[in-house]
Amino acid sequence: MSAHVIRSRGASGVVLAALALTALADCSTGGAPSPAPRPAGPVAGGTLVVGSPTDVDSWNEYLARQSFSAKILGLLYLRLAREVDGPHGGRDFEPGLAESWTFSADGRELTFRLRTADWSDGTRVTAEDVRFSWRAQTSPEVAWAGAAAKAAIRDVEVVDPRTVRFWFDRPYPFALADAVDGGILPEHVYGAVPFGEWRTHDWTQAARVTSGPFVLEEHDPAAEIRLARNPRYLAAPLPRLDRVVVRIVPDMGNLVTQTLSGAIDLVEGVPPRDAARVAAAPGVAIRAFDFPNYDYVGWNEERAPLGDAEIRRALTLAIDRRALVDEVLYGYGRVAAGPIPSAAWGFDADLEPWPYDPERARAILSARGFRPRPSDGMLERDGHPFSITLATNVGNEVRAACAVKIQAQLRRVGVAVDVLPPMEMRAFVSRNMAGDFDAYVGGWTFTSGRAELRTLFGSGSIPPDGFDVVRYRSAEVDALLDRADAAADSGTLRDAVRAVARRIHDDQPYTFLFETRRLAAVRDRVRGLRFDVPGDSLARLDEVWLAAVE
């Protein structure tokens, strides 16, 4: 937790305080402390080697699609402020390019005061850069995937070179979070290229003019990225590192091997099955951290008998989700209760996951008319067997393993499951969007820290109008979502989204399986690394230093 947290003033101060204090029970970040002895204090210098299976796909944040690209670009371009884990499991904001911010009394104006900061080429960072970045974020020609966060921002006004004001259509609890979403770009560099030409422009040179702790030194595609210390970084003498080198190695097994041999200092995304081996190795520790995600089984409500909420609840009761966490995630996860993950805003700690209770599941299915066949004990109703197909996407061994285990668990209550071979992602999504499935194992990650509810469960979001691929329809949920959209304060919003979560928990359009914890292998010499910026494990590299332990 940063000690430099500034709270906004004015009317929204209450909103922010409420946001910060929102309880996110058991949302711990960071993992077991490194076993190596702590040296006297931080030292400057050295090269940190980070391993990654993916490369940066664009040096322009608003064109990049890989989440890894966003993390690297986050080291180059500061935001106005940054959302971080707050006290009591809540969220807070710490200053970035802005030193302070104030809401107007009606909550429709948000004014930022910028810090005195320079781009790495010596040009002063101004409010014009902020306005330019907003124009880029909302440009249809740029087509930024995160543009939805800016939908309520009507205009961005340059008050003076160090003051910029955001005008909102309406007051709402996420106004600050949405305003600061996305890095601020240098207009004198990026503005030289019209938005219409952004997608076919090489941004490698532009990434050498930054405001963050590092500047791009060199990028050998598919091989290596070298970031050098930005001497004009506003938090000087940070960063402590002279250089960050990212080694691009497509195979995670190879990355883990190189970390164990000492060639790589930090790699994120270690498969749970490798965690024990890595943790047992000398000089390396496993750090686990939360991010807003869950995996689930989606039931097609238009396929009988899955349209019956009682039947779906029975299926959930028959699936041992704790066993999946233990056996597939090796304990690095938690059973999910509902559509709002524990690391997302609005999480309701009082909402308990359905228990594993195959006896109750059998009783429900029996009450719904399903009887075991004398020949093999499998269930049937009116001569029709209870038989479903279960699909998942290729390239995710956790989901493939889950599908097989779920097949065995449902068989124990008499439901026959035919697990289909994992499908190529496009084919998988296309099939689901068309409604051509019984059930599938899928997952969602919410990079914004807010669980999507309308897009996934609103009656108006049935494909192609959204991602309600399970065809879930609930007038109660729709009304609650309308209430959430109209909420001007976080209390109303929290109540509405929690009511949605409870309704969905009851109806079980998904069987919520688990939330995965992300694992990073870190060499002992890496010190000062914190994982308190949601979804960004590299955000604190400016504070990292290297100890002479090896």
Which residue ranges make up the site for other proteins (CB under 8 A)?
A: 47, 49, 57-60, 63, 65, 140-143, 145, 147-148, 199-200, 202-203, 218, 220-224, 226, 245, 247-251, 254, 257-258, 261, 263, 293, 424-427, 429-431, 433, 442-447, 452, 455-456, 461, 464-467
Between CA 472 and CA 482, with CA 477 as vertex, the angle to 5 degrees is: 125
| Smallest separation, CB 134 to other proteins (Å) | 16
| Smallest separation, CB 542 to other proteins (Å) | 20
> Which value, in Å, is the radius of gyration of the alpha carbons in the chain?
25
Tell me whether residue 73 is exposed, middle or buried, using C-beta atoms within 10 angstroms of its C-beta: 0 to 12, 13 to 18, 19 or more: buried
CA atoms within 13 A on the CB side of 171: 17
User: CA 355 to CA 510: how far, in whole Å?
Assistant: 15
Sheet with strand 384-385: strands edge to edge: 371-372, 379-381, 384-385
| Smallest separation, CB 91 to other proteins (Å) | 20
How, if at all, do strands 266-268 and 47-52 pair?
A: parallel
| Smallest separation, CB 412 to other proteins (Å) | 29
Q: Which is nearer to other proteins, 141 or 310 (CB)?
A: 141
Q: Which is nearer to other proteins, 34 or 461 (CB)?
A: 461
User: CA 286 to CA 288: how far, in whole Å?
Assistant: 7
Q: Which is nearer to other proteins, 14 or 263 (CB)?
A: 263
Q: Are 303 and 474 in contact (CB under 8 A)?
A: no
| Smallest separation, CB 541 to other proteins (Å) | 16
Q: Are 57 and 64 in contact (CB under 8 A)?
A: yes
Phi, psi of 118 (to 5 degrees): -120, 150
| Smallest separation, CB 142 to other proteins (Å) | 7
Q: Which is nearer to other proteins, 272 or 414 (CB)?
A: 272
Q: Which is nearer to other proteins, 387 or 430 (CB)?
A: 430
User: CA 334 to CA 85: how far, in whole Å?
Assistant: 19
User: CA 542 to CA 240: how far, in whole Å?
Assistant: 6
**What six digits make up the tokens of 182?**
């996305």
Report the SS3 class of residue 244.
Answer: strand
Q: Which is nearer to other proteins, 254 or 366 (CB)?
A: 254
| Smallest separation, CB 361 to other proteins (Å) | 28
Q: Which is nearer to other proteins, 266 or 364 (CB)?
A: 266
Q: Which is nearer to other proteins, 26 or 220 (CB)?
A: 220
| Smallest separation, CB 503 to other proteins (Å) | 19
Report the SS3 class of residue 347.
Answer: coil
Q: Which is nearer to other proteins, 59 or 132 (CB)?
A: 59
Report the SS3 class of residue 173.
Answer: coil
| Smallest separation, CB 351 to other proteins (Å) | 21
Tokens 């402590």 locate to 240
DSSP string, 501-533: HHHHHHH-SEEEEEEEPEEEEEETTEES----S
